[in-house]
Amino acid sequence: MKQKSLFIFLALMLSFSVSLFGTGPEKEYKIPYEKYKLSNGLNVILHVDKSDPIAAVYVVFHVGSAREVQGKTGFAHLFEHLRFNESQNVPQGQFFKKIQTAGGTLNGSTNVDRTNYFETV
């Protein structure tokens, strides 16, 4: 029992000493960006990075389940899924196909205070 207690004590001391000395101060990154507000009220934050041949879009709507009323819940999540359905310019089933055929990924999620979507190609 004494040996086990000593082992636990030494393990705790070792983990504490490692965290004490760490790797030094974290480097602060400055990411250049441009910010726009479109005529429809959409805020756009644009960052151009040509280090990799990809394009990524992340869209956030500041609405989620917190704005739903009792007895009428699930609409934020429903609208998240409806966003991937057909539209005036994209036929049914083609939204995922177009992105994935190009080697990209896409998804969305709903939270208490936001609904978001992302596409990367």
Residues designated catalytic: 80
Sheet with strand 56-61: strands edge to edge: 56-61, 115-120, 105-110
Q: What is the DSSP string of 30-76?
A: ----EEEE-TTS-EEEE---TTSS--EEEEEES--GGGPBTTB-SHH
